[in-house]
Structure 1
Amino acid sequence: MKNFKNLLLVALFFATAAVFGQTKITGKVVDETNQPLPSASVMVKGTTNGTSTDYDGNFTITANSNSGVIVVSFVGYNKKEVSFTSSKTSLGTIQLTEDANTLDEVVIQGVIDVAKDRETPVAVSTIKAAEIEEKLGSQEFPEILKSTPSVYATKSGGGFGDSRINIRGFNQENVAILINGVPVNDMENGRVYWSNWAGLSDVTSAMQVQRGLGSSKLAISSVGGTINVITKTSQQKEGANVSSSFGNDGYMKYVGSYSTGKLDNGLSASFLFSRTQGDGYVDGTKFLGYNYFIGVGYKINEKHSLEFTFTGAPQWHHQRSYAEKLSLYQQFGTSNDPNIKFNPAWGMYKGEEFSLRRNFYHKPVMSLNYDWKISDNSNLSTVLYASWGRGGGSGPIGDVNNIRDYDFRLRDAQGRVRFDDIAKWNAGGNVPDFGADRTSTINDRKNGLTRRASMNSHNWYGVIANFHKDASDNFSWDVGVDLRTYQGIHYRVVSNLLGATGYTDNRDKNNPNRSITSFVDPSPSFNPWANITNQQKIEYYNDGNVRWLGAFGQVEYKNDDVSAFLQGGISQQGFQRIDYFNLLVGSQKSGYENLMGGNIKGGMNWNINEAHNVFGNAGYYSKQPFFGAVYPNYNNNNTSVGLTNEKILGLELGYGYRSENYNVKVNAYRTSWKDRFQRTGGSAPGNFVDFSGIEQVHTGLEIESTGRFGKLTVDAMLSLGNYQYVGNVTGTEYDQNNAVVGVSGTTYYLDKVKVGDAAQTTARIGFTYKVSDKLKFDISQFYAASLYPSISASSFKTQVDNTQGSLKLPGYALVDAGVSYKFNLSEKVNARFRLNVNNLMDTRYISDGFTNIHATAGSTTYKGIDVNNRVYFGYGRTWNASMKFSF
């Protein structure tokens, strides 16, 4: 018994010593610009005890001694050691020297769900604001993500903001885009128009691409992945920035911002305004855009804080919205040197650039975030948000003596639209090669050529609330709601009569034979609440209403080595269509078609040791189809009979290696997508085909790595994918009057055909050499192969079509280069110069294809491609130089 008592005394002594020997250490890690550095590694030197900084750069770690050294490091930053003692536990701000590398991970804050390296078991890549600011230049916002695996981004037609992005072979309609945790995909069709977010790069503090299931708790179906953009907040450090940049084809951009910092009364504010304009790389794509950001924060006390943000980007730009045949690019260039800038949608009108295709829009987003720290282990985060979209895109309607707008008889020798001649003929004048003179100068949908505008406005309101509870040191759980209501407002207006004296419309059954007397200027209104009710509509007028009721929950377990989560969500989407033109008053509203959907996903990460970790995840989505599937062929017929949810099953395994100067990530995935609805073009202009039951399977391998070798940093990525359809499908074709063409339920032969619209193989290697703290150079090469056109299922009507498969477009490699120089003008003023050159070698390449015409023995070809195929070329060499001053 005595020996046992002695043993207890010894155990009690060591336990007491351990308790009193523990030291709780706090601090904040920032980069060279004093911005928080999320997820920097913080270790107690000589131990395996470590943690990571949170999104604000803060950390807390408990050391089992009264003194020692904290080691702060991050790949791409110089390691720093800081001593601590029992009397010095608050280490203050620790600044790391940046080495031009990307941020690797950020953590969860508020309703924002972003992944943390070696903890959240998903495939993720993060780009920090510094890299966006340096390397984006005059490129489109999504293009900065081309450095990440399985991402394919192009400029599409080349108009300002007309870019698009694919992740793992899925287009952006099926990629969840979140801004500060708030979804922005259109609630009717899932689309994201980057021109509406043209100024987003100015206000982004970090952007994370989560490929596959992602870490979002919302009941959203991110088939390909999730792009989470985290914007600046009001609580930036005090100071101001002024920058300007210039580039090819008249590109000019000016940005000014100011932040108050956190004031003594708890208030803080940040403001930003920018203006961008240019002539556009593609002919006839002039543009003008603005961007504004207002952030106001108020820390009420230690438990309650508010953050208000309001940001928008009103813009207009001329477009090349239709991919032409290769032969046409050659016609206005040479057979071996096609004119990749050719655009047949524009010309000169009254001495100024004028385009049939002009996009104009303003979609501001307003949000109010409320964070309540209920206790030390629980908090509630809520965001109320609203978005108002106003604008649309213009196009032609009518003809000139049965000569349609796409006919080259309406163009000159350079391929430009003869707007002055069209206006002369519309006004009753004589234009000999247009045929007979007009007998009337009043246009309608068939007689006379008019520029109309298709308006797609909306009102969107929502709330997301998330309650988080730390049940113990290892377990936590979350529960929340996602509620939204959306009204899409669709109609056409007259934009420009092009010399005619009036316009009549007979498409409204409730008000036939109307004379249109007011016209809409195709420019964005800075007023997001502009009255659109009184605009005179033509052609069609309908609303699409969507109600979203969502709930979600998550449980998570974490210890020093293992982290695991299980998440589930459920949503009910209600769809209603209101048709003001085709249906008589009293019968214009459909009932709500309510569809249930949801998801369940889980994963686990195991940190084998400080260097190695493995993870896996799996998930299943039951995804409601988009609005067009609920109300096919543009009428109010409910389609509950036979309407089914799309089913997505995702599986993923990953491995990571991390050291002070090198890291690597490897991911393998398989995504199955069944019962997909798709609407594509038909066999004649204006026709369309509705498909249901499409299945496709996407598998792939992704590798990305970063290494630091003295002053040289090397980053590389490789993604190998195999995306193809499984099984044949049935589809029904409709003509312009929504009448069935041919046989309803025709078979289309898709089995084992490659899915198009993205390169299935991509690779990149980049080198950054830091000559000094002030000067650095970077160069990279991006490679894309196994690229197939964005073809529709309607291209495979026969077994022969199936045997030929998808047309394979030529692969290509692009080199980008840049140089940065920083210098101090005074103690409080510093400056940065940056020069970017994209496609340094001026490589000519096809970035997008839209047809599936295989070359035969008698075909005329370009790089092996039949010249009857419709394509977009990517940009040639472009450049951008910028100067930024910080005060």
Structure 2
Amino acid sequence: MKKLLITAVAVLLFPLLTKAQFNISGTVSEKNTLLPGASIRIKNAGIGAKANSEGYYQLKNIKAGSYTLEVSFIGYQPLQKNIILNADLNIDFSLITASYLAEEVIVRGTRANEKSATTFKNLSKEEINANNFGQDLPFILNNTPGVVVSSDAGTGIGYTGIRIRGSDATRINVTVNGIPYNDSESQGSFWVNMPDFASSVDNVQIQRGVGTSTNGAGAFGASINVQTSAGSIEPYAELNNTVGSYNTLKNTVKLGTGLIDNKWSFDGRLSQIKTDGFIDRAASNLKSYFLSGAYKGKKDLLRLNVFAGAEKTYQAWNGIPESRLNGDAAGMQAYIARNYLSDADATNLLNSGNRTYNSFTYKDQTDNYWQNHYQLLYARQFNEQFSFNGALHYTDGRGYYEEFKTGQKFKNYGLANVELGGTTKDKTDLIRRRWLDNDFYGVTYNFNYQPQSNLTFTLGGAYNEYKGKHFGEVIWAQYASNGQYGDHYYDNQGDKSDFNIFGKVMFNPSEKLSLFADVQYRNINYEVAGTDKNLTNIDFNDQMNFFNPKVGATYFMNSNSNVYLSFSLANKEPNRDDYVNANPSLFPKSERLYNTELGYRIKAGKLNAGVNAYGMFYKDQLVVTGKINDVGEPIRQNVSKSYRIGIELDASYILSSKFVLNANAAISRNKISNYVDYLYEYDENGDIINTVTTNYESPDISYSPAAVLFGELAYKPLQGFAIALQNKYVSKQYLDNTQNESRKLKAYFVSNLRAGYDFSAFGIKNINLGLLVNNVFNKKYESNGYTYGSIYQGVTTTENFYFAQAGTNFLLSLNLKF
């Protein structure tokens, strides 16, 4: 295998230098006005450039052949020109103003650009489509700096997770067309509820760190700003299909009318994804649709988006015990004894595969959720200086997860004990469902004013309301008690209002210097009342007011490079569990983050690169400490000081007309200044008899790898065909904040191979054949896990659980565009 790898790499790296190379240059203008920043690229070749400050562009060292040049610029109609290159060419382009308002105005208020002193990464529609084989959006973003992804089922379909700079999904702000997507209470983003959403995405911007002011949850690690598809000028129809390992099947149909009467357009998508998953019984059945209609005028843009997702996913969220993962027979027997496993569960543990074990065996142990989104987007360009964009939105979500539970006490479900044959039964096997029924609605807005070419003001904000009902049902019990089908054994409701307003100003005192200031005020009112799943009364109301300022400067050393510096302050409220699980004496406080970013960006010829250093300094960050509440639920506590500091690199280099090298790296140090860990000692009745505390002076923050590295070598031997070898390295991560070597995820290095071929035949406009081979070298690795410990009779036991990822597997796609 090693010899095969060396040979393959040698072949990929061997450049073909025998053919002549030529240059293409010229200007881009509108009538007599040059257009600096216009994009010029060779279609399907991965070669491009931007017009400089004088509207001049140059593409160097292009091999002889037939090509299609594409030129685009916001606010102008795109232009294509077919050329035959057998000598240096000078080609000037003259663009025509678009007859409608550009779609980019919808997200302009919350996006960063090249003048922003913000660390960000843009992914185009082409990049998204090239990596879209039906996996959730986090796996499509996996190749960007500092990103670590995981999958409960091991394949990237179903429940997936994402971390950026070590921060989990609850600390990553996600917006879709500027509208918040994070769940208001848990603050997480559940991509399983939006299957195949990537097929309806036009572009994504990831801002690392605090970023610019946006709507929704506070960004404590990053922001993911998603813009949905803008439609097409020409009518189209697409059939996209994927088959792959573990009986994976994806079918997508897309239709679009193109621009009707130069004003109207309608687009639609229907998708279904099915897979058995890598983990035993970790199957997913996912369905979704996306509908969009738009009116585009010279000064107005009105778009209605309606999209929905339905998911049924077999639960695989318990992970694999360490003894099963390692095939440790003695360890498994000890695990069975410690956890009082039934004979059936013990047999399942002992007879399952080391890396595919799933503790759940009940046939309907599933998660079921339906989510409907409605977005009405409007933008108007009043004049050259003043514009507006805003949105009304409503999301309806409803679902439950079903569980089979053994030996449950009747009293824990509000049920009476059962008398049977003169014997009192106080326990029963049962099936329960825990429901969430929620509504989320609101308004977002942005006013943009540019009184002069070097000065821009933005006033934006949002008001959003969330109402979430939480309740539980017992749908079957071994012994009939006094409950009725449809009764709720617990009920509570969470109501949350979120208001924010922000102002931004960008000022360019000279051609070389750009300054910005960004101030946000955010008000949150969160109330929960009722009984929780443990039948405990909960009743709290917390009101918070946050002030989040940001300042920065960008200095342009020349037209190709700049350096930037920014400082930001952000505040973030606790999530639902922090409140519900907290002991009265440990009521959570909000968190605060001070973020500094220093970076350098360059675009020069074949090189496009950026490097930045960052510092993220937290006050009162909420972390798991091992502490539990009165009913054994883990709780997070505020730690006074913690920080993340690091360096990130993101670069692309065109080695030749056939080879492109993409690479990024994130090196970081992530520490809690003073950390107190709690470990409980239990007696034979399961009661706590002692608490052991341990002080740690400067341990690593959990789930925060010190190094995340990515490299991709793309080879394009002929027009329309590309193959890329992708490599990702993630250093070790600790499962808790004790920096204990026995509680960690091991470092891993994984390689994927992606290939794509675009061509036309049989009267079909475009045929795309795609292949994604994940984990080419069959690396056995785990990308996520968790741990807990206890003391019994003086013996400390640590339970580690891991989420194993699939070995070598493939996805093969056939996409037809008519």
Q: Work out whether the TM-score is over 0.5.
A: yes
Q: Distance in 1 between matches of 2:644 and 2:358?
A: 34
Q: Distance in 2 between matches of 1:55 and 1:110?
A: 22
**C-alpha displacement of 1:202:** 1.4
Q: Distance in 2 between matches of 1:537 and 1:603?
A: 53
Q: Distance in 2 between matches of 1:734 and 1:40?
A: 65
Specify the SS of the correspondent of 1:550.
strand
Equivalent residue for 1:328, pick from 320, 324, 327: 324
Equivalent residue for 1:548, pick from 494, 498, 512: 498
Deviations for 1:109-139, whole angstroms, at most 9, x for unmatched residues?
Answer: 2244565553122111222222322224243
**C-alpha displacement of 1:223:** 0.8
Question: Contact 1:25–1:60 (CA<8 Å) still a contact in 2?
Answer: no
Partner of 1:871 in structure 2? 802
Equivalent residue for 1:266, pick from 258, 263, 267: 263
Q: Distance in 2 between matches of 1:597 and 1:733?
A: 36
Question: Contact 2:107–2:227 (CA<8 Å) still a contact in 1?
Answer: no
Q: State the one-letter code of the partner of 2:550.
A: K
**C-alpha displacement of 1:659:** 1.2
Partner of 1:370 in structure 2? 378
Check if 1:776 corresponds to 2:722: yes
Specify the SS of the correspondent of 2:356.
coil
Check if 1:194 corresponds to 2:191: yes
Q: State the one-letter code of the partner of 1:575.
A: Y
Check if 1:649 corresponds to 2:594: yes
Q: Distance in 1 between matches of 2:258 and 2:80?
A: 29
**C-alpha displacement of 1:55:** 13
Partner of 1:666 in structure 2? 611
**C-alpha displacement of 1:334:** 12
Specify the SS of the correspondent of 1:327.
helix
Question: Contact 2:125–2:201 (CA<8 Å) still a contact in 1?
Answer: yes
Partner of 1:713 in structure 2? 660
Q: State the one-letter code of the partner of 1:625.
A: P
Question: Contact 1:151–1:165 (CA<8 Å) still a contact in 2?
Answer: yes
Specify the SS of the correspondent of 1:147.
coil
Specify the SS of the correspondent of 1:133.
helix
**C-alpha displacement of 1:161:** 2.5
Question: Contact 2:532–2:538 (CA<8 Å) still a contact in 1?
Answer: no
Partner of 1:134 in structure 2? 130
Question: Contact 1:297–1:305 (CA<8 Å) still a contact in 2?
Answer: yes
Equivalent residue for 1:762, pick from 689, 692, 708: 708
Check if 1:618 corresponds to 2:618: no
Specify the SS of the correspondent of 2:552.
strand
**C-alpha displacement of 1:224:** 0.5
Deviations for 1:561-588, whole angstroms, at most 9, x for unmatched residues?
Answer: 222211011111111112168999xx99
Q: Distance in 1 between matches of 2:134 and 2:812?
A: 9
Partner of 2:734 in structure 1? 788
Partner of 1:885 in structure 2? 816
Q: State the one-letter code of the partner of 1:776.
A: A
**C-alpha displacement of 1:810:** 2.3
More strand per residue: 2
Q: State the one-letter code of the partner of 2:180.
A: P
Q: Distance in 2 between matches of 1:71 and 1:609?
A: 29
Q: State the one-letter code of the partner of 1:343.
A: N
Q: Mind listing any 5+ residue stretches in structure 2 that lack a counterpart?
A: 1-29, 59-69, 82-86, 333-351, 413-417
Partner of 2:552 in structure 1? 603
Q: State the one-letter code of the partner of 1:123.
A: T
Question: Contact 2:724–2:755 (CA<8 Å) still a contact in 1?
Answer: yes
Q: Distance in 1 between matches of 2:689 and 2:88?
A: 69
Q: Distance in 1 between matches of 2:200 and 2:470?
A: 30
Q: Distance in 1 between matches of 2:551 and 2:528?
A: 36
Specify the SS of the correspondent of 2:769.
strand
Deviations for 1:797-837, whole angstroms, at most 9, x for unmatched residues?
Answer: xxxxx7x5784432111111022122212455321101110
Check if 1:850 corresponds to 2:786: yes
Partner of 2:542 in structure 1? 593
Specify the SS of the correspondent of 1:173.
helix
Deviations for 1:311-340, whole angstroms, at most 9, x for unmatched residues?
Answer: 111110102111232212344999999621
Specify the SS of the correspondent of 1:771.
strand
Work out the percentage of aligned pairs sharing the same amino acid.
19
Equivalent residue for 1:485, pick from 465, 469, 478: 465
| Larger CA deviation: 663-672 vs 128-137 | 128-137
**C-alpha displacement of 1:150:** 1.3
Q: CA RMSD in A?
A: 4.3
Deviations for 1:571-627, whole angstroms, at most 9, x for unmatched residues?
Answer: 11111112168999xx99957432111311121111101232111111112333334
Partner of 2:347 in structure 1? none
Specify the SS of the correspondent of 1:190.
coil
Partner of 1:510 in structure 2? none
Question: Contact 2:180–2:215 (CA<8 Å) still a contact in 1?
Answer: no
Q: Distance in 1 between matches of 2:494 and 2:88?
A: 55
Equivalent residue for 2:437, pick from 438, 445, 457: 457
Partner of 2:310 in structure 1? 314
Q: Mark the CA change 1:219 to 1:231 in structure 2 (over 3 Å): closer, same or farther.
A: closer
Question: Contact 1:760–1:785 (CA<8 Å) still a contact in 2?
Answer: yes
TM-score by length of 2: 0.80
Q: Mind listing any 5+ residue stretches in structure 1 that lack a counterpart?
A: 1-20, 49-53, 62-69, 73-77, 94-105, 348-353, 405-436, 505-512, 519-535, 797-801, 860-865
Q: State the one-letter code of the partner of 2:594.
A: L
Partner of 2:5 in structure 1? none
**C-alpha displacement of 1:222:** 0.6
Q: Mark the CA change 1:312 to 1:219 in structure 2 (over 3 Å): closer, same or farther.
A: closer
**C-alpha displacement of 1:711:** 0.8
Deviations for 1:493-530, whole angstroms, at most 9, x for unmatched residues?
Answer: 23555xx474x4xxxxxxxx4x2224xxxxxxxxxxxx
Deviations for 1:258-307, whole angstroms, at most 9, x for unmatched residues?
Answer: 111111172211000011112111110122111100001113x4333211
1:740-751 to 2 correspondences below 5 Å? 749-751=695-697
Q: State the one-letter code of the partner of 2:139.
A: E
Partner of 2:522 in structure 1? 571
Q: Distance in 1 between matches of 2:677 and 2:322?
A: 31
Question: Contact 1:169–1:760 (CA<8 Å) still a contact in 2?
Answer: no
Equivalent residue for 2:622, pick from 677, 681, 686: 677
Q: Mark the CA change 1:693 to 1:91 in structure 2 (over 3 Å): closer, same or farther.
A: same
Q: Distance in 2 between matches of 1:71 and 1:115?
A: 27
Q: State the one-letter code of the partner of 1:453.
A: R
Question: Contact 1:111–1:464 (CA<8 Å) still a contact in 2?
Answer: no
Question: Contact 2:213–2:502 (CA<8 Å) still a contact in 1?
Answer: no
Check if 1:517 corresponds to 2:485: yes
Which has the greater radius of gyration? 1
**C-alpha displacement of 1:169:** 1.2
Specify the SS of the correspondent of 2:427.
coil
Specify the SS of the correspondent of 1:146.
coil
Specify the SS of the correspondent of 1:375.
coil
Q: Distance in 2 between matches of 1:755 and 1:583?
A: 30
Q: Distance in 2 between matches of 1:573 and 1:196?
A: 25
Q: Mark the CA change 1:220 to 1:283 in structure 2 (over 3 Å): closer, same or farther.
A: closer
Question: Contact 1:677–1:692 (CA<8 Å) still a contact in 2?
Answer: yes
Partner of 1:420 in structure 2? none
TM-score by length of 1: 0.74
Q: State the one-letter code of the partner of 1:560.
A: E
Q: Distance in 1 between matches of 2:408 and 2:449?
A: 68
Q: Distance in 2 between matches of 1:697 and 1:568?
A: 23
Partner of 2:3 in structure 1? none
Specify the SS of the correspondent of 2:731.
strand
**C-alpha displacement of 1:653:** 0.5
**C-alpha displacement of 1:687:** 3.6
Equivalent residue for 2:211, pick from 214, 226, 234: 214
Partner of 2:272 in structure 1? 275
Question: Contact 1:703–1:719 (CA<8 Å) still a contact in 2?
Answer: yes
Q: Mark the CA change 1:623 to 1:440 in structure 2 (over 3 Å): closer, same or farther.
A: farther
Specify the SS of the correspondent of 2:714.
strand
**C-alpha displacement of 1:691:** 1.8
Question: Contact 1:691–1:732 (CA<8 Å) still a contact in 2?
Answer: no
Specify the SS of the correspondent of 2:130.
helix
Q: Distance in 2 between matches of 1:868 and 1:632?
A: 22
**C-alpha displacement of 1:448:** 2.8
